[in-house]
Every structure is written in C-alpha cells, then in structure tokens.
C-alpha cells in the first residue's frame, strides 16, 4: 500500500533526529506528495517545541515549499490534551502559524490543575475506571472544543471508552490514528468501532536504516484508510 501523505513527523525541534529539510528529502525519496511537520506541543515538559521556534518553523517551511515544488510541506503540531475539559496547549497566536492540529494524551504534558496531576499518576500506576472516564471526557471535549484534524494514539498512556470517542470523532470529522509503535488503536478497538465507520489514519515507520544520511528515525507516516485503499488528505492553511 502506497503512503501518499505523512502528517506525523517529528524533528530536532522536539525529539526527532532530523531537520525539517531532512524529513522533506526522505519523503520525496519515498514518493510522498504531502508531508506535515508536527512536533510535540510546547507544554510537554521534556521535549515540547519551544515557543520561540514556532514562527521560525513557519518561515522555514514556507521557504522549503518554494525550494521543493514536488511536495506539499505543512506545519502542524501534536498538541497535548491537558485536562478533562479538553484544553490543549495551543493559543490563537500560535494556531495562526499552523496548517493543521493533532492532539493526544502524553505523560510528559504539564497538567493544568491538581486533578490533572492526580490523573497522570492514576494512569501511570493504577489505571482506574475513574481515570478511564476522565481520559475519555478529555479527548471528547478536545474534539468538540478545538479544530482537531487527528487524535493521536487514542488509549495509549491512559485507557479510554473507545466507542464514545469514535462517535464524537465521527460527528466532528476527526481522524483517529492507528499507531503501530504505540499499539493504539489496536485490533480490539478497531473491531469495537468498525460499525461507526470512522476516518482512520494508519501510522507506520518510514525511516531507513539507522539514521544514515540524516534520516529522521522518529519520522512517523500515517495515511488515511477508506475501503481498503489509501487516499490522500489535503489540509489548507487558514
């Protein structure tokens, strides 16, 4: 199956190993028509993108789009879902730089309040039903309250009621990621939501070897699956 678009790639601006241009060159070599640079949101405590770099990334991508006419280069961000209300680490100023937004739950995100901190601990140690409900509400509210293109690895790091999430994803036209490196969505989840007919994005590793020639070994390719065929997805910068 051909990968036509790659929206989930990281660079040295967060915890990837390659530059933006190195990611672009790899994508071109693989025949990919659209690549999105989507480093981690700035409220990730260990490897979030630096606020001061966001405008710089936009400028760099605009220049690379002029340099490489054979590929469409987009700027996204893998934002952190910070609380049960669905708040993410993206304000209007920084949103204006982006072509699309992804969001997911990460242990490294900075909680907004004590309840969020407790939920981090619960997800890491206990994995209670209370945490499962809070995780589910957080993702649902994030989709309802933000213009999110992709929910990344739903159920990873914290369990969720996947059918409830899938229903809202359908309503909001949000893609759900099938992430092979994180293991979510997994086979059981996909079977549970098959009847909802969500738009899914398959994530797979597209790096080569051991980072030879500057290739980013944390480059993650995802492509939309519909009727067993890969279809391109195009985002337009607002």
Is the backbone of residue 207 left (phi > 0), alpha (psi -120 to 50) or beta? beta
DSSP the chain: ----EEEEE--TTTT-SS-HHHHHHHHHHTT-SEEEE-PBPTTBTTTPPPGGGHHHHHHHHHHHHHH-TTSEEEE--EEEB-STT--BS--HHHHTT-S--EEE--TTB--SSHHHHHHHHIIIII--HHHHHHHHHHHHHHHHHS--SEE-STTSSS---HHHHHHHHHHHT-EEEEETTTTBS-HHHHHHHGGG---EEEEEE---TTTGGG--TTEEEEEEEETTEEE-------
**Does any domain span residue 40?**
yes
192 with 182: CB under 8 angstroms?
A: no
The verdict on whether omega for the bond into residue 39 sits within 30 degrees of 0, i.e. cis, is no
Residue 198 belongs to domain with CATH number: 3.20.20.140
Long-range contacts of 186-193 (CB under 8 A, 24+ apart): 186/155, 189/154, 189/155, 189/162, 192/162, 192/163, 192/166, 193/162, 193/163, 193/166
Domains of the chain: total: 1
Range with the poorest average pLDDT among 30-39, 43-52, 107-116, 207-216: 207-216
**Which range has the top average pLDDT, 22-31, 63-72, 107-116, 180-189?**
63-72
pLDDT (average), residues 99-104: 98
**Does any domain span residue 237?**
no
CA–CA–CA angle 109, 74, 13 (5° rounding): 45
**Does any domain span residue 236?**
no
Q: What is the mean pLDDT of the chain?
A: 86
Which residue has 């241009």 as its token pair? 21
Q: Are strands 219-226 and 229-231 parallel, antiparallel or unpaired?
A: antiparallel
**Does any domain span residue 106?**
yes
Domain range for residue 62?
Answer: 5-231
- Residue 95: predicted pLDDT: 96
**Does any domain span residue 119?**
yes
86 with 136: CB under 8 angstroms?
A: no
**Does any domain span residue 73?**
yes
**Does any domain span residue 178?**
yes
**Does any domain span residue 238?**
no
pLDDT cut 70: percent of the chain above it:
84
pLDDT one-digit tens code per residue, 176-231? 998 877 888 988 999 999 999 999 887 654 443 222 223 333 334 444 443 444 43
Selected residue with higher pLDDT from 28 and 232: 28
């Amino acid at each position: 199956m051909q990968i036509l678009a790659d929206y989930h790639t990281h660079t040295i601006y967060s915890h990837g190993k390659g530059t933006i241009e190195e990611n672009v060159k790899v994508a071109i070599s693989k025949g990919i028509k659209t690549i999105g640079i989507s480093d981690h949101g700035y409220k990730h405590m260990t490897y979030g993108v630096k606020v001061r770099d966001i405008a710089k990334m936009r400028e760099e991508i605009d220049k690379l789009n002029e340099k490489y006419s054979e590929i469409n280069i987009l700027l996204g961000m893998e934002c952190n879902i910070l609380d049960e209300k669905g708040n993410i680490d993206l304000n209007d100023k920084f949103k204006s730089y982006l072509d699309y937004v992804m969001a997911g739950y990460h242990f490294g995100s900075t909680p907004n309040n004590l309840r969020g901190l407790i939920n981090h601990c619960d997800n890491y140690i206990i994995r209670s039903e209370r945490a499962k409900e809070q995780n589910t509400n957080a993702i649902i509210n994030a989709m309802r309250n933000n213009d999110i293109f992709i929910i990344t690895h739903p159920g990873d790091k914290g369990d969720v009621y996947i059918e409830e999430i899938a229903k809202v994803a359908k309503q909001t036209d949000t893609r759900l990621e099938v992430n092979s490196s994180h293991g979510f969505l997994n086979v059981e989840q996909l079977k549970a939501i098959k009847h909802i007919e969500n738009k899914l994005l398959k994530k797979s590793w597209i790096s080569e070897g051991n980072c030879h020639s500057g290739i980013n070994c944390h480059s993650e390719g995802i492509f939309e699956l519909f009727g067993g065929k890969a279809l391109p997805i195009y985002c337009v910068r607002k």
